[in-house]
Structure 1
Amino acid sequence: MLPLVYSPEVDAALKAGHAVVALESTIITHGMPWPQNVETARAVEAAVRDGGAVPATMAVMGGRIHIGLTDAELERLGQARDVAKLSRADLAACVATGGTGATTVAATMICARLAGISVFATGGIGGVHRGAETSFDISADLAELAQTAVTVVAAGAKAILDLPKTLEYLETAGVPVIAYGQDAFPAFWSRDSGLKAPLRMDSAEAIAAAHRMRALLGLPGGQLVANPIPAEAEIARELIGPVIETALAEAAAQGIAAKAVTPFLLGRIFELTEGRSLAANIALVLNNARLAAAIAKALAAG
Protein backbone atom coordinates (compact mmCIF):
# COMPACT_ATOMS: atom_id res chain seq x y z
CA MET A 1 0.00 0.00 0.00
CA LEU A 2 1.38 3.38 -0.97
CA PRO A 3 2.34 5.57 2.03
CA LEU A 4 0.20 8.49 0.85
CA VAL A 5 -1.81 10.81 3.10
CA TYR A 6 -4.28 13.16 1.42
CA SER A 7 -5.47 16.40 2.95
CA PRO A 8 -9.29 16.53 3.18
CA GLU A 9 -9.42 19.31 0.55
CA VAL A 10 -7.27 17.42 -1.97
CA ASP A 11 -8.98 14.10 -1.30
CA ALA A 12 -12.41 15.61 -2.04
CA ALA A 13 -11.15 17.37 -5.17
CA LEU A 14 -9.54 14.26 -6.66
CA LYS A 15 -12.59 12.10 -5.96
CA ALA A 16 -14.81 14.70 -7.66
CA GLY A 17 -12.50 15.06 -10.67
CA HIS A 18 -11.79 18.72 -9.94
CA ALA A 19 -8.62 20.58 -10.95
CA VAL A 20 -5.65 20.05 -8.62
CA VAL A 21 -2.19 21.65 -8.78
CA ALA A 22 0.85 20.12 -7.09
CA LEU A 23 3.22 22.43 -5.20
CA GLU A 24 6.69 21.73 -3.84
CA SER A 25 7.77 22.29 -0.26
CA THR A 26 11.47 23.18 -0.47
CA ILE A 27 10.43 26.83 -0.79
CA ILE A 28 8.97 26.42 2.72
CA THR A 29 11.89 24.66 4.39
CA HIS A 30 14.90 25.86 2.41
CA GLY A 31 13.77 28.98 0.56
CA MET A 32 13.16 31.58 3.26
CA PRO A 33 12.85 31.97 7.04
CA TRP A 34 9.74 31.54 9.18
CA PRO A 35 7.19 33.12 9.17
CA GLN A 36 7.73 34.49 5.65
CA ASN A 37 8.02 30.96 4.30
CA VAL A 38 4.58 29.97 5.57
CA GLU A 39 3.05 33.28 4.49
CA THR A 40 4.42 32.78 0.97
CA ALA A 41 3.24 29.16 0.82
CA ARG A 42 -0.25 30.26 1.84
CA ALA A 43 -0.21 33.01 -0.79
CA VAL A 44 0.75 30.49 -3.49
CA GLU A 45 -2.00 28.11 -2.37
CA ALA A 46 -4.45 31.05 -2.42
CA ALA A 47 -3.40 31.89 -6.00
CA VAL A 48 -4.21 28.32 -7.05
CA ARG A 49 -7.61 28.48 -5.34
CA ASP A 50 -8.35 31.88 -6.88
CA GLY A 51 -7.66 30.25 -10.26
CA GLY A 52 -10.34 27.65 -9.64
CA ALA A 53 -8.11 24.72 -8.65
CA VAL A 54 -7.10 23.01 -5.40
CA PRO A 55 -3.49 23.23 -4.18
CA ALA A 56 -1.66 20.06 -3.15
CA THR A 57 1.56 20.98 -1.37
CA MET A 58 3.78 17.89 -1.15
CA ALA A 59 6.00 16.91 1.77
CA VAL A 60 7.17 13.84 3.68
CA MET A 61 6.22 14.01 7.35
CA GLY A 62 6.65 11.13 9.76
CA GLY A 63 7.52 8.78 6.94
CA ARG A 64 4.31 9.45 4.99
CA ILE A 65 3.99 11.32 1.69
CA HIS A 66 1.49 14.11 2.24
CA ILE A 67 -0.56 15.04 -0.82
CA GLY A 68 -1.70 18.44 0.34
CA LEU A 69 -1.09 19.94 3.76
CA THR A 70 -3.61 21.20 6.28
CA ASP A 71 -2.99 24.67 7.69
CA ALA A 72 -1.59 23.17 10.89
CA GLU A 73 0.73 20.84 8.97
CA LEU A 74 1.98 23.71 6.82
CA GLU A 75 2.75 25.73 9.95
CA ARG A 76 4.54 22.76 11.53
CA LEU A 77 6.65 22.13 8.43
CA GLY A 78 7.53 25.81 8.22
CA GLN A 79 9.06 25.73 11.71
CA ALA A 80 10.66 22.27 11.48
CA ARG A 81 14.43 21.89 11.85
CA ASP A 82 16.85 19.69 9.91
CA VAL A 83 14.33 18.89 7.18
CA ALA A 84 15.81 16.78 4.38
CA LYS A 85 15.74 18.16 0.84
CA LEU A 86 14.36 15.29 -1.20
CA SER A 87 14.88 14.37 -4.82
CA ARG A 88 14.46 11.05 -6.67
CA ALA A 89 17.56 9.54 -5.04
CA ASP A 90 16.51 9.98 -1.41
CA LEU A 91 12.69 10.15 -1.41
CA ALA A 92 12.18 6.44 -0.73
CA ALA A 93 14.85 6.33 1.99
CA CYS A 94 13.26 9.24 3.84
CA VAL A 95 9.85 7.59 3.74
CA ALA A 96 11.22 4.18 4.76
CA THR A 97 13.08 5.59 7.77
CA GLY A 98 10.15 7.66 9.02
CA GLY A 99 11.80 10.95 8.21
CA THR A 100 10.65 14.45 7.37
CA GLY A 101 11.57 15.96 4.04
CA ALA A 102 10.69 18.73 1.63
CA THR A 103 10.17 17.88 -2.01
CA THR A 104 12.20 19.38 -4.82
CA VAL A 105 10.90 19.58 -8.40
CA ALA A 106 11.84 15.95 -9.12
CA ALA A 107 10.35 14.56 -5.91
CA THR A 108 7.19 16.63 -6.28
CA MET A 109 6.70 15.26 -9.80
CA ILE A 110 7.01 11.70 -8.48
CA CYS A 111 4.51 12.37 -5.69
CA ALA A 112 2.10 14.08 -8.10
CA ARG A 113 2.22 11.10 -10.44
CA LEU A 114 1.51 8.70 -7.57
CA ALA A 115 -1.50 10.80 -6.59
CA GLY A 116 -2.83 11.18 -10.13
CA ILE A 117 -2.10 14.92 -10.34
CA SER A 118 -1.00 16.13 -13.78
CA VAL A 119 0.04 19.76 -13.21
CA PHE A 120 2.72 21.21 -10.94
CA ALA A 121 3.66 24.84 -10.31
CA THR A 122 7.12 25.81 -9.09
CA GLY A 123 9.50 28.76 -9.30
CA GLY A 124 12.27 27.60 -11.60
CA ILE A 125 13.57 24.16 -12.43
CA GLY A 126 17.12 22.99 -11.84
CA GLY A 127 19.32 22.29 -14.84
CA VAL A 128 22.84 21.99 -16.12
CA HIS A 129 25.21 23.92 -13.86
CA ARG A 130 27.91 26.11 -15.30
CA GLY A 131 31.10 24.08 -15.58
CA ALA A 132 29.15 20.84 -15.81
CA GLU A 133 31.55 19.63 -18.51
CA THR A 134 34.06 19.03 -15.69
CA SER A 135 31.84 18.76 -12.59
CA PHE A 136 29.02 16.70 -14.16
CA ASP A 137 26.65 18.75 -11.98
CA ILE A 138 23.22 18.33 -13.60
CA SER A 139 19.96 18.58 -11.68
CA ALA A 140 17.80 15.49 -11.34
CA ASP A 141 14.88 17.72 -12.38
CA LEU A 142 15.84 17.29 -16.03
CA ALA A 143 15.87 13.49 -15.97
CA GLU A 144 12.55 13.56 -14.10
CA LEU A 145 10.95 15.70 -16.80
CA ALA A 146 12.05 13.08 -19.31
CA GLN A 147 10.30 10.21 -17.55
CA THR A 148 7.43 11.46 -15.36
CA ALA A 149 4.23 12.58 -17.08
CA VAL A 150 3.55 15.85 -15.26
CA THR A 151 3.25 19.30 -16.83
CA VAL A 152 5.55 21.61 -14.88
CA VAL A 153 4.95 25.37 -14.89
CA ALA A 154 8.11 27.34 -14.07
CA ALA A 155 9.67 30.69 -14.95
CA GLY A 156 12.24 28.81 -17.03
CA ALA A 157 15.36 27.38 -15.40
CA LYS A 158 17.18 29.23 -12.64
CA ALA A 159 19.31 31.98 -14.19
CA ILE A 160 22.41 30.87 -12.28
CA LEU A 161 22.58 27.79 -14.55
CA ASP A 162 24.00 27.16 -18.00
CA LEU A 163 20.79 27.82 -19.91
CA PRO A 164 21.97 26.82 -23.41
CA LYS A 165 23.18 23.45 -22.10
CA THR A 166 19.97 23.01 -20.11
CA LEU A 167 17.89 23.47 -23.25
CA GLU A 168 20.17 21.08 -25.15
CA TYR A 169 19.72 18.43 -22.47
CA LEU A 170 15.94 18.80 -22.54
CA GLU A 171 15.89 18.54 -26.32
CA THR A 172 17.99 15.37 -26.25
CA ALA A 173 15.71 13.90 -23.57
CA GLY A 174 12.61 14.65 -25.65
CA VAL A 175 11.07 17.11 -23.19
CA PRO A 176 8.76 19.73 -24.75
CA VAL A 177 9.82 23.22 -23.65
CA ILE A 178 6.86 25.55 -24.19
CA ALA A 179 7.20 29.30 -23.72
CA TYR A 180 3.90 30.80 -22.65
CA GLY A 181 2.83 33.86 -24.61
CA GLN A 182 6.23 34.71 -26.08
CA ASP A 183 8.97 33.27 -28.28
CA ALA A 184 11.87 33.83 -25.86
CA PHE A 185 12.85 31.30 -23.19
CA PRO A 186 12.56 33.15 -19.86
CA ALA A 187 15.37 33.17 -17.32
CA PHE A 188 13.68 33.11 -13.91
CA TRP A 189 14.12 36.72 -12.73
CA SER A 190 14.19 37.98 -16.34
CA ARG A 191 11.56 37.57 -19.04
CA ASP A 192 14.11 36.98 -21.80
CA SER A 193 17.22 34.79 -21.54
CA GLY A 194 18.37 35.73 -25.03
CA LEU A 195 17.49 32.20 -26.15
CA LYS A 196 14.53 31.17 -28.28
CA ALA A 197 12.18 28.61 -26.77
CA PRO A 198 11.64 25.47 -28.87
CA LEU A 199 7.84 25.82 -28.67
CA ARG A 200 5.31 28.56 -27.97
CA MET A 201 1.70 28.31 -26.81
CA ASP A 202 -0.63 31.15 -25.91
CA SER A 203 -3.38 29.45 -23.92
CA ALA A 204 -3.83 27.04 -21.05
CA GLU A 205 -6.16 25.01 -23.25
CA ALA A 206 -3.45 24.44 -25.87
CA ILE A 207 -1.00 23.29 -23.19
CA ALA A 208 -3.61 20.92 -21.73
CA ALA A 209 -4.32 19.53 -25.21
CA ALA A 210 -0.60 18.84 -25.73
CA HIS A 211 -0.46 17.06 -22.35
CA ARG A 212 -3.40 14.83 -23.33
CA MET A 213 -1.90 14.11 -26.75
CA ARG A 214 1.40 12.97 -25.25
CA ALA A 215 -0.50 10.44 -23.16
CA LEU A 216 -2.52 9.31 -26.19
CA LEU A 217 0.67 8.78 -28.19
CA GLY A 218 2.30 6.87 -25.34
CA LEU A 219 5.16 9.34 -25.01
CA PRO A 220 6.96 9.19 -21.65
CA GLY A 221 7.80 12.23 -19.59
CA GLY A 222 6.28 15.59 -18.93
CA GLN A 223 6.21 19.09 -20.35
CA LEU A 224 8.06 22.19 -19.20
CA VAL A 225 5.94 25.32 -19.49
CA ALA A 226 8.24 28.35 -19.31
CA ASN A 227 6.07 31.16 -17.98
CA PRO A 228 7.80 34.57 -17.96
CA ILE A 229 7.83 36.59 -14.76
CA PRO A 230 5.35 39.53 -14.82
CA ALA A 231 6.97 42.57 -16.47
CA GLU A 232 6.53 44.76 -13.40
CA ALA A 233 8.43 42.29 -11.20
CA GLU A 234 11.32 41.30 -13.46
CA ILE A 235 14.99 42.11 -13.02
CA ALA A 236 16.29 42.67 -16.54
CA ARG A 237 19.02 40.37 -17.82
CA GLU A 238 21.53 43.20 -18.14
CA LEU A 239 21.03 44.04 -14.45
CA ILE A 240 20.96 40.56 -12.91
CA GLY A 241 23.73 39.16 -15.13
CA PRO A 242 26.67 40.90 -13.43
CA VAL A 243 25.23 40.04 -10.00
CA ILE A 244 25.10 36.35 -10.93
CA GLU A 245 28.69 36.46 -12.21
CA THR A 246 29.86 38.02 -8.93
CA ALA A 247 28.10 35.34 -6.89
CA LEU A 248 29.51 32.57 -9.09
CA ALA A 249 33.04 33.93 -8.70
CA GLU A 250 32.64 34.04 -4.91
CA ALA A 251 31.36 30.45 -4.84
CA ALA A 252 34.34 29.27 -6.87
CA ALA A 253 36.80 31.18 -4.68
CA GLN A 254 35.32 29.61 -1.54
CA GLY A 255 35.29 26.10 -2.99
CA ILE A 256 31.52 25.75 -2.71
CA ALA A 257 30.25 22.83 -4.79
CA ALA A 258 27.53 20.21 -5.32
CA LYS A 259 24.27 20.71 -3.40
CA ALA A 260 25.66 23.73 -1.54
CA VAL A 261 26.05 25.80 -4.73
CA THR A 262 22.45 26.81 -5.40
CA PRO A 263 21.58 27.90 -1.82
CA PHE A 264 24.81 29.91 -1.64
CA LEU A 265 24.22 31.62 -4.97
CA LEU A 266 20.60 32.47 -4.24
CA GLY A 267 21.59 33.85 -0.83
CA ARG A 268 24.35 36.04 -2.25
CA ILE A 269 22.14 37.29 -5.07
CA PHE A 270 19.52 38.22 -2.46
CA GLU A 271 22.15 40.24 -0.60
CA LEU A 272 23.62 41.85 -3.71
CA THR A 273 20.18 42.89 -4.99
CA GLU A 274 19.13 44.09 -1.51
CA GLY A 275 16.22 41.70 -1.42
CA ARG A 276 14.87 42.45 -4.88
CA SER A 277 15.59 38.92 -6.12
CA LEU A 278 13.37 37.41 -3.41
CA ALA A 279 10.50 39.78 -4.21
CA ALA A 280 10.81 38.77 -7.87
CA ASN A 281 10.91 35.10 -6.88
CA ILE A 282 7.65 35.39 -4.96
CA ALA A 283 5.99 37.24 -7.86
CA LEU A 284 6.97 34.60 -10.40
CA VAL A 285 5.84 31.70 -8.20
CA LEU A 286 2.42 33.32 -7.80
CA ASN A 287 2.27 33.90 -11.55
CA ASN A 288 3.12 30.25 -12.20
CA ALA A 289 0.47 29.09 -9.72
CA ARG A 290 -2.19 31.04 -11.61
CA LEU A 291 -1.22 29.57 -14.98
CA ALA A 292 -0.98 26.05 -13.53
CA ALA A 293 -4.51 26.41 -12.13
CA ALA A 294 -5.79 27.37 -15.58
CA ILE A 295 -4.06 24.35 -17.18
CA ALA A 296 -5.42 22.01 -14.49
CA LYS A 297 -8.94 23.37 -15.08
CA ALA A 298 -8.58 22.79 -18.82
CA LEU A 299 -7.45 19.20 -18.20
CA ALA A 300 -10.28 18.55 -15.76
CA ALA A 301 -12.80 19.89 -18.28
CA GLY A 302 -11.62 17.24 -20.74
Structure 2
Amino acid sequence: MNLTLSPEVAEARAQGRALVALESTIITHGMPYPQNLETARKVEAQVRAKGAVPATIAVLNGDVCVGLTDDQLSELAQAKDVMKVSRADIAVCVAQGATGATTVAATMICAHLAGISVFATGGIGGVHRGAEDSFDISADLREFSLTPVTVVCAGAKAILDLPKTLEVLETLGAPVIGYGCDSLPAFWSRGSDLPVPLRADSAAQIAAAHKTRAAMGLDGGQVVANPIPVSAEIPAAEINPIIETALAEADAQGIAAKDVTPFLLQRIFELTEGRSLASNIELVLNNARLAAEIAQELTK
Protein backbone atom coordinates (compact mmCIF):
# COMPACT_ATOMS: atom_id res chain seq x y z
CA MET A 1 0.00 0.00 0.00
CA ASN A 2 1.25 3.49 -0.86
CA LEU A 3 0.51 6.09 1.82
CA THR A 4 1.40 9.49 0.39
CA LEU A 5 1.56 12.56 2.60
CA SER A 6 1.36 15.97 0.96
CA PRO A 7 4.42 18.16 1.59
CA GLU A 8 2.38 20.34 3.98
CA VAL A 9 1.13 17.36 5.98
CA ALA A 10 4.54 15.66 6.07
CA GLU A 11 6.17 18.81 7.39
CA ALA A 12 3.44 19.33 10.00
CA ARG A 13 3.74 15.74 11.23
CA ALA A 14 7.52 16.02 11.47
CA GLN A 15 7.14 19.20 13.54
CA GLY A 16 4.43 17.74 15.80
CA ARG A 17 1.88 20.32 14.68
CA ALA A 18 -1.89 19.92 14.94
CA LEU A 19 -3.48 18.07 12.00
CA VAL A 20 -7.15 17.74 11.01
CA ALA A 21 -8.33 15.06 8.60
CA LEU A 22 -11.04 15.95 6.07
CA GLU A 23 -13.09 13.56 3.95
CA SER A 24 -13.48 13.65 0.18
CA THR A 25 -16.97 12.27 -0.48
CA ILE A 26 -18.33 15.72 0.31
CA ILE A 27 -16.33 16.84 -2.74
CA THR A 28 -17.28 14.07 -5.15
CA HIS A 29 -20.73 12.98 -3.95
CA GLY A 30 -22.02 15.72 -1.65
CA MET A 31 -22.02 18.92 -3.68
CA PRO A 32 -22.05 20.01 -7.34
CA TYR A 33 -19.06 21.61 -9.06
CA PRO A 34 -17.82 24.32 -8.52
CA GLN A 35 -19.37 24.67 -5.05
CA ASN A 36 -17.62 21.47 -3.98
CA LEU A 37 -14.17 22.85 -4.82
CA GLU A 38 -14.92 26.24 -3.28
CA THR A 39 -16.16 24.56 -0.10
CA ALA A 40 -13.14 22.24 0.12
CA ARG A 41 -10.83 25.25 -0.10
CA LYS A 42 -12.86 27.17 2.50
CA VAL A 43 -12.83 24.23 4.92
CA GLU A 44 -9.06 23.90 4.61
CA ALA A 45 -8.72 27.66 5.13
CA GLN A 46 -10.76 27.49 8.36
CA VAL A 47 -8.46 24.78 9.72
CA ARG A 48 -5.37 26.83 8.86
CA ALA A 49 -6.90 29.98 10.39
CA LYS A 50 -7.15 28.11 13.70
CA GLY A 51 -3.46 27.19 13.57
CA ALA A 52 -3.82 23.57 12.43
CA VAL A 53 -2.98 21.86 9.15
CA PRO A 54 -5.72 20.33 6.98
CA ALA A 55 -5.32 16.83 5.54
CA THR A 56 -7.99 16.11 2.94
CA ILE A 57 -7.93 12.36 2.28
CA ALA A 58 -8.67 10.46 -0.95
CA VAL A 59 -7.44 7.45 -2.92
CA LEU A 60 -5.88 8.69 -6.16
CA ASN A 61 -4.89 6.05 -8.71
CA GLY A 62 -4.39 3.52 -5.93
CA ASP A 63 -2.42 5.81 -3.61
CA VAL A 64 -3.87 6.70 -0.21
CA CYS A 65 -3.27 10.45 -0.25
CA VAL A 66 -3.32 12.25 3.08
CA GLY A 67 -3.38 15.90 2.20
CA LEU A 68 -4.14 17.05 -1.34
CA THR A 69 -2.48 19.79 -3.34
CA ASP A 70 -4.77 22.45 -4.81
CA ASP A 71 -4.35 20.87 -8.25
CA GLN A 72 -5.38 17.48 -6.85
CA LEU A 73 -8.41 19.06 -5.14
CA SER A 74 -9.45 20.67 -8.41
CA GLU A 75 -9.07 17.45 -10.37
CA LEU A 76 -11.05 15.46 -7.80
CA ALA A 77 -13.83 18.05 -7.73
CA GLN A 78 -14.35 17.58 -11.48
CA ALA A 79 -13.69 13.84 -11.69
CA LYS A 80 -16.39 11.45 -12.91
CA ASP A 81 -17.18 7.90 -11.77
CA VAL A 82 -15.16 8.20 -8.56
CA MET A 83 -15.65 5.26 -6.19
CA LYS A 84 -17.27 6.01 -2.84
CA VAL A 85 -15.14 3.94 -0.49
CA SER A 86 -15.78 2.72 3.02
CA ARG A 87 -14.17 -0.02 5.13
CA ALA A 88 -15.50 -2.79 2.87
CA ASP A 89 -14.10 -1.54 -0.43
CA ILE A 90 -11.14 0.75 0.23
CA ALA A 91 -8.60 -2.08 -0.03
CA VAL A 92 -10.01 -3.16 -3.42
CA CYS A 93 -9.89 0.45 -4.63
CA VAL A 94 -6.23 0.71 -3.62
CA ALA A 95 -5.29 -2.72 -5.00
CA GLN A 96 -6.87 -1.97 -8.39
CA GLY A 97 -5.19 1.42 -8.71
CA ALA A 98 -8.53 3.18 -8.78
CA THR A 99 -9.62 6.61 -7.54
CA GLY A 100 -11.96 6.77 -4.57
CA ALA A 101 -13.47 9.37 -2.28
CA THR A 102 -13.41 8.45 1.39
CA THR A 103 -16.52 8.23 3.55
CA VAL A 104 -16.40 8.86 7.30
CA ALA A 105 -15.30 5.27 8.00
CA ALA A 106 -12.59 5.23 5.33
CA THR A 107 -11.34 8.67 6.33
CA MET A 108 -11.01 7.51 9.94
CA ILE A 109 -9.00 4.48 8.82
CA CYS A 110 -6.64 6.52 6.65
CA ALA A 111 -6.27 9.27 9.23
CA HIS A 112 -5.25 6.70 11.84
CA LEU A 113 -2.73 5.16 9.43
CA ALA A 114 -1.20 8.64 9.05
CA GLY A 115 -1.18 9.33 12.79
CA ILE A 116 -3.99 11.91 12.72
CA SER A 117 -6.42 11.86 15.66
CA VAL A 118 -9.07 14.45 14.71
CA PHE A 119 -11.39 14.56 11.71
CA ALA A 120 -14.01 17.13 10.69
CA THR A 121 -17.00 16.21 8.55
CA GLY A 122 -20.57 17.37 7.92
CA GLY A 123 -22.77 14.61 9.29
CA ILE A 124 -21.97 10.98 10.02
CA GLY A 125 -23.85 8.06 8.49
CA GLY A 126 -26.17 5.99 10.61
CA VAL A 127 -29.25 3.80 10.66
CA HIS A 128 -31.47 4.46 7.66
CA ARG A 129 -35.19 4.76 8.12
CA GLY A 130 -36.82 1.39 7.54
CA ALA A 131 -33.64 -0.42 8.56
CA GLU A 132 -35.74 -2.99 10.42
CA ASP A 133 -36.63 -4.29 6.95
CA SER A 134 -33.66 -3.22 4.81
CA PHE A 135 -30.85 -3.66 7.39
CA ASP A 136 -29.34 -0.49 5.88
CA ILE A 137 -26.90 0.69 8.54
CA SER A 138 -23.83 2.75 7.72
CA ALA A 139 -20.39 1.25 8.33
CA ASP A 140 -19.52 4.60 9.90
CA LEU A 141 -21.12 3.50 13.18
CA ARG A 142 -19.01 0.39 13.67
CA GLU A 143 -15.89 2.37 12.80
CA PHE A 144 -16.34 4.42 15.96
CA SER A 145 -15.87 1.24 17.98
CA LEU A 146 -12.69 0.30 16.11
CA THR A 147 -10.62 3.34 15.12
CA PRO A 148 -9.30 5.90 17.65
CA VAL A 149 -10.23 9.12 15.87
CA THR A 150 -12.34 11.95 17.28
CA VAL A 151 -14.88 12.98 14.64
CA VAL A 152 -16.50 16.41 14.74
CA CYS A 153 -19.88 16.48 12.98
CA ALA A 154 -23.25 18.24 13.16
CA GLY A 155 -24.79 14.98 14.36
CA ALA A 156 -25.99 12.23 12.05
CA LYS A 157 -27.60 13.29 8.79
CA ALA A 158 -31.22 14.25 9.48
CA ILE A 159 -32.45 11.95 6.69
CA LEU A 160 -31.61 9.00 8.98
CA ASP A 161 -33.39 7.31 11.88
CA LEU A 162 -31.74 9.30 14.68
CA PRO A 163 -33.10 7.31 17.67
CA LYS A 164 -31.89 4.01 16.19
CA THR A 165 -28.55 5.60 15.26
CA LEU A 166 -28.02 6.62 18.89
CA GLU A 167 -29.00 3.15 20.08
CA VAL A 168 -26.49 1.46 17.78
CA LEU A 169 -23.70 3.83 18.86
CA GLU A 170 -24.50 3.06 22.50
CA THR A 171 -24.46 -0.69 21.81
CA LEU A 172 -21.05 -0.33 20.14
CA GLY A 173 -19.68 1.62 23.11
CA ALA A 174 -19.05 4.75 21.05
CA PRO A 175 -19.25 8.00 23.06
CA VAL A 176 -21.50 10.70 21.62
CA ILE A 177 -20.50 14.08 23.06
CA GLY A 178 -22.63 17.17 22.54
CA TYR A 179 -20.52 20.30 22.24
CA GLY A 180 -22.16 22.89 24.46
CA CYS A 181 -25.60 21.30 24.02
CA ASP A 182 -27.95 18.88 25.77
CA SER A 183 -30.02 17.69 22.80
CA LEU A 184 -28.64 15.82 19.81
CA PRO A 185 -27.90 18.16 16.87
CA ALA A 186 -29.76 17.07 13.74
CA PHE A 187 -27.54 18.30 10.91
CA TRP A 188 -29.53 21.24 9.43
CA SER A 189 -31.22 21.80 12.81
CA ARG A 190 -29.43 22.76 16.03
CA GLY A 191 -31.31 20.25 18.15
CA SER A 192 -33.78 17.40 18.28
CA ASP A 193 -36.07 15.79 20.82
CA LEU A 194 -33.27 13.34 21.70
CA PRO A 195 -30.99 14.04 24.67
CA VAL A 196 -27.30 13.84 23.84
CA PRO A 197 -25.63 11.16 26.02
CA LEU A 198 -22.59 13.23 27.03
CA ARG A 199 -21.66 16.89 27.06
CA ALA A 200 -18.42 18.87 26.78
CA ASP A 201 -18.13 22.65 26.80
CA SER A 202 -14.58 23.11 25.52
CA ALA A 203 -12.11 21.68 23.05
CA ALA A 204 -9.83 20.92 26.00
CA GLN A 205 -12.46 18.66 27.59
CA ILE A 206 -12.92 16.75 24.33
CA ALA A 207 -9.16 16.33 23.88
CA ALA A 208 -8.84 15.11 27.48
CA ALA A 209 -11.52 12.48 26.87
CA HIS A 210 -9.69 11.33 23.72
CA LYS A 211 -6.41 10.94 25.64
CA THR A 212 -8.14 9.19 28.55
CA ARG A 213 -9.73 6.58 26.24
CA ALA A 214 -6.26 5.76 24.93
CA ALA A 215 -4.77 5.62 28.43
CA MET A 216 -7.51 3.21 29.54
CA GLY A 217 -6.95 0.94 26.54
CA LEU A 218 -10.44 1.55 25.16
CA ASP A 219 -10.82 0.85 21.46
CA GLY A 220 -12.47 3.28 19.08
CA GLY A 221 -13.03 6.99 18.76
CA GLN A 222 -15.52 9.67 19.70
CA VAL A 223 -18.47 11.36 18.03
CA VAL A 224 -18.52 15.09 18.76
CA ALA A 225 -21.91 16.55 17.86
CA ASN A 226 -21.48 20.25 17.15
CA PRO A 227 -24.69 22.25 16.50
CA ILE A 228 -24.95 24.18 13.24
CA PRO A 229 -24.55 27.97 13.72
CA VAL A 230 -27.84 29.73 14.53
CA SER A 231 -27.62 31.90 11.40
CA ALA A 232 -27.46 28.83 9.13
CA GLU A 233 -30.04 26.64 10.82
CA ILE A 234 -33.13 25.26 9.08
CA PRO A 235 -35.51 24.49 11.99
CA ALA A 236 -36.75 20.92 12.32
CA ALA A 237 -40.38 21.96 11.81
CA GLU A 238 -39.41 23.35 8.41
CA ILE A 239 -36.97 20.72 7.16
CA ASN A 240 -38.69 17.54 8.40
CA PRO A 241 -41.66 17.66 5.96
CA ILE A 242 -39.19 18.19 3.10
CA ILE A 243 -37.15 15.18 4.23
CA GLU A 244 -40.32 13.07 4.32
CA THR A 245 -41.16 14.10 0.74
CA ALA A 246 -37.66 13.18 -0.46
CA LEU A 247 -37.79 9.84 1.36
CA ALA A 248 -41.13 8.99 -0.24
CA GLU A 249 -39.72 9.79 -3.69
CA ALA A 250 -36.65 7.62 -3.07
CA ASP A 251 -38.86 4.72 -2.01
CA ALA A 252 -41.13 5.13 -5.03
CA GLN A 253 -38.14 5.11 -7.38
CA GLY A 254 -36.47 2.12 -5.72
CA ILE A 255 -33.36 4.05 -4.71
CA ALA A 256 -31.25 1.88 -2.38
CA ALA A 257 -27.87 1.28 -0.74
CA LYS A 258 -25.11 3.85 -1.46
CA ASP A 259 -27.38 5.77 -3.84
CA VAL A 260 -29.84 6.77 -1.10
CA THR A 261 -27.90 9.57 0.60
CA PRO A 262 -26.79 11.40 -2.61
CA PHE A 263 -30.34 11.17 -3.98
CA LEU A 264 -31.91 12.54 -0.80
CA LEU A 265 -29.42 15.39 -0.43
CA GLN A 266 -29.99 16.40 -4.06
CA ARG A 267 -33.80 16.34 -3.71
CA ILE A 268 -33.67 18.30 -0.45
CA PHE A 269 -31.39 20.83 -2.19
CA GLU A 270 -34.01 21.20 -4.93
CA LEU A 271 -36.97 21.36 -2.56
CA THR A 272 -35.31 24.03 -0.38
CA GLU A 273 -34.18 25.98 -3.47
CA GLY A 274 -30.55 25.62 -2.49
CA ARG A 275 -30.90 26.61 1.15
CA SER A 276 -29.92 23.14 2.41
CA LEU A 277 -26.58 23.33 0.57
CA ALA A 278 -25.81 26.76 2.03
CA SER A 279 -26.53 25.39 5.51
CA ASN A 280 -24.46 22.29 4.81
CA ILE A 281 -21.45 24.42 3.89
CA GLU A 282 -21.74 26.52 7.04
CA LEU A 283 -21.97 23.52 9.34
CA VAL A 284 -18.89 21.93 7.77
CA LEU A 285 -16.92 25.15 8.24
CA ASN A 286 -18.10 25.29 11.85
CA ASN A 287 -16.99 21.71 12.45
CA ALA A 288 -13.58 22.40 10.90
CA ARG A 289 -13.01 25.24 13.34
CA LEU A 290 -13.83 23.10 16.37
CA ALA A 291 -11.77 20.17 15.07
CA ALA A 292 -8.75 22.45 14.69
CA GLU A 293 -9.15 23.62 18.29
CA ILE A 294 -9.32 20.02 19.52
CA ALA A 295 -6.26 19.08 17.45
CA GLN A 296 -4.35 21.99 18.98
CA GLU A 297 -5.26 20.77 22.47
CA LEU A 298 -4.06 17.26 21.66
CA THR A 299 -0.60 18.57 20.74
CA LYS A 300 -0.12 20.22 24.14
Normalization by structure 2: what TM-score? 0.99
- Correspondence for 1:148: 147
- Listed one character per residue, the Cα deviations across residues 220-277 of structure 1 (whole Å, up to 9, x for unaligned) are 0000000000001000000001001111111111111111111111111111111000
What letter is aligned with 2:270? E
Contact persistence 2:181–2:199 (CA under 8 A): yes
Q: Counterparts of 2:249 and 2:96 in 1: how far apart (Å)?
A: 37
- Correspondence for 1:16: 15
Q: Runs ≥4 in structure 1, deviation > 4 angstroms?
A: none
- Listed one character per residue, the Cα deviations across residues 88-131 of structure 1 (whole Å, up to 9, x for unaligned) are 01100010111001000000000000000000000000000000
- Correspondence for 1:106: 105
Contact persistence 2:30–2:265 (CA under 8 A): no
- Correspondence for 1:184: 183
Cα RMSD of the aligned pairs, angstroms, is 0.7
2:82 paired with 1:66:
no
Q: Counterparts of 1:170 and 1:111 in 2: how far apart (Å)?
A: 21
Instruction: Quote how far apart the aligned CAs of 1:33 are.
Output: 2.1
What letter is aligned with 1:296? A
2:164 paired with 1:172:
no
- Correspondence for 1:97: 96
**Aligned-partner SS, 1:288:** helix
Q: Counterparts of 1:280 and 1:55 in 2: how far apart (Å)?
A: 21
What letter is aligned with 1:118? S
- Correspondence for 1:139: 138
Q: In the comparison of the two structures, how many residue pairs are matched?
A: 300
- Correspondence for 1:212: 211
Greater mean deviation of Cα atoms: 23-32 or 218-227: 23-32
Map 1:1-302 to 2 at 5 A. 2-301=1-300
What letter is aligned with 2:51? G
Contact persistence 2:185–2:226 (CA under 8 A): yes
Unaligned stretches of 5+ in structure 1?
Answer: none
Q: Counterparts of 1:284 and 1:150 in 2: how far apart (Å)?
A: 20
Q: Counterparts of 2:5 and 2:181 in 1: how far apart (Å)?
A: 36
Unaligned stretches of 5+ in structure 2?
Answer: none
Instruction: Quote how far apart the aligned CAs of 1:31 are.
Output: 1.4
Q: Counterparts of 2:30 and 2:175 in 1: how far apart (Å)?
A: 27
Q: Counterparts of 2:64 and 2:159 in 1: how far apart (Å)?
A: 30
Q: Counterparts of 1:61 and 1:298 in 2: how far apart (Å)?
A: 31
Q: Counterparts of 2:56 and 2:140 in 1: how far apart (Å)?
A: 18
Q: Counterparts of 1:55 and 1:61 in 2: how far apart (Å)?
A: 18
Q: Counterparts of 1:252 and 1:83 in 2: how far apart (Å)?
A: 25
